[in-house]
């Protein structure tokens, strides 16, 4: 009986979706705004990577919301696992094998450099703050796996996290005050496309996001791995 009802309900929902979407042509652009970004993005924002110009310039405020969502999720995880007030246990852990240790020590600096490269060149090459931050967090994950006796300085992690978020908002407010009309408006010269120092405030925002996301995801791994009293 219940199965029949659920199948009937599913059929009704599927029919509703079908009726809504039946007239939409498949694969054709629904709006013109995408073409506008592709044609005008380089000239208006100075960023060679069109994805970055959309994510940070045209839709910068949405990105601030995205960063906030990530922050709330990491904060909630820390609160649930009791890491906010509790002390770390620091029980003695048996060291990892020599292969794992050497591999982690070898890869750690390269991953950090690659992560910093990805978010510094977010306006030129594929990638950006979120991807670079995730790469940095995976470098710290290697430290947790291979060199367990090394602890991450949690105070520094929290400061990096907070200052990254603060820098994003401050850059936005400076844009509101100096640049003119709106939050996160560009107040630096666009420069020459394809140069490292170009695209106005976009590299600055990506540096802030990269540091923040890296610190935050490292904090997530730390909260999960370390036992609290």
Partner 1 sequence: MIVIVSLLVFVMLAAAVAAFIFKDLLSAVLAACLVSLIASILFLFMHAPDVAMAEASIGAALVTAVFVIAIRRTGRREE
Residues that bind partner 1 (CB under 8 A): 49, 51, 118, 126-128, 130-131, 134-135, 137-138, 141, 217, 220-221, 224-225
The nearest distance, CB 217 to partner 1, in angstroms, is: 6
- Among 23, 128, 6, 10, smallest CA distance to 67 is for 128
Looking at beta carbons only, is 81 or 193 nearer to partner 1? 81
Q: How far is CA 65 from CA 31, 35, 55, 62, 168, in A?
A: 24, 25, 12, 5, 11
The nearest distance, CB 208 to partner 1, in angstroms, is: 18
Show the tokens assigned to 183: 């939050």
The nearest distance, CB 115 to partner 1, in angstroms, is: 9
The DSSP bridge partners found for residue 88 are: 228
Looking at beta carbons only, is 188 or 207 nearer to partner 1? 207
The nearest distance, CB 126 to partner 1, in angstroms, is: 4
Supply φ then ψ for residue 228, to 5 degrees: -110, 155
Looking at beta carbons only, is 35 or 166 nearer to partner 1? 35
The nearest distance, CB 30 to partner 1, in angstroms, is: 18
Looking at beta carbons only, is 133 or 175 nearer to partner 1? 133
Give the Cα separation of 59 and 62 in Å (integer): 5
Q: Residues for the chain: how many in total?
A: 229
Show the tokens assigned to 136: 């940095």
- Among 156, 178, 172, smallest CA distance to 208 is for 172
Looking at beta carbons only, is 37 or 130 nearer to partner 1? 130
Looking at beta carbons only, is 127 or 200 nearer to partner 1? 127
Helix (H) or strand (E) holding 207: helix 202-225
179, with CB counted inside 10 A (0-12, 13-18, 19+), is middle
The nearest distance, CB 165 to partner 1, in angstroms, is: 19
């Amino acid at each position: 009986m219940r199965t029949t009802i659920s199948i009937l309900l599913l059929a009704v929902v599927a029919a509703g979706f079908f009726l809504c979407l039946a007239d939409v042509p498949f694969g054709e652009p629904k709006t013109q705004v995408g073409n506008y970004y592709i044609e005008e993005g380089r000239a208006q924002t100075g960023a060679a990577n069109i994805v970055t110009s959309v994510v940070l310039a045209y839709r910068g405020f949405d990105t601030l919301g995205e960063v906030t969502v990530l922050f709330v999720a990491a904060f909630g995880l820390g609160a649930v696992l009791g890491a906010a007030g509790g002390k770390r246990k620091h029980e003695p852990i048996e060291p990892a094998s020599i292969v794992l240790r050497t591999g982690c020590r070898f890869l750690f600096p390269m991953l950090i450099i690659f992560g910093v490269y990805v978010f510094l060149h977010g306006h030129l090459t594929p990638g950006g703050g979120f991807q670079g931050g995730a790469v940095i967090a995976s470098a710290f994950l290697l430290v947790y796996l291979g060199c367990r006796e090394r602890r991450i300085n949690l105070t520094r992690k929290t400061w990096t996290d907070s200052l990254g978020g603060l820098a994003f908002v401050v850059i936005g407010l400076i844009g509101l005050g100096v640049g003119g009309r709106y939050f996160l408006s560009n107040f630096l010269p666009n420069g020459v496309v394809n140069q490292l120092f170009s695209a106005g405030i976009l590299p600055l925002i990506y540096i802030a996001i990269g540091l923040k996301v890296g610190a935050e995801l490292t904090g997530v791994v730390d909260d999960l791995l370390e036992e609290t009293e």
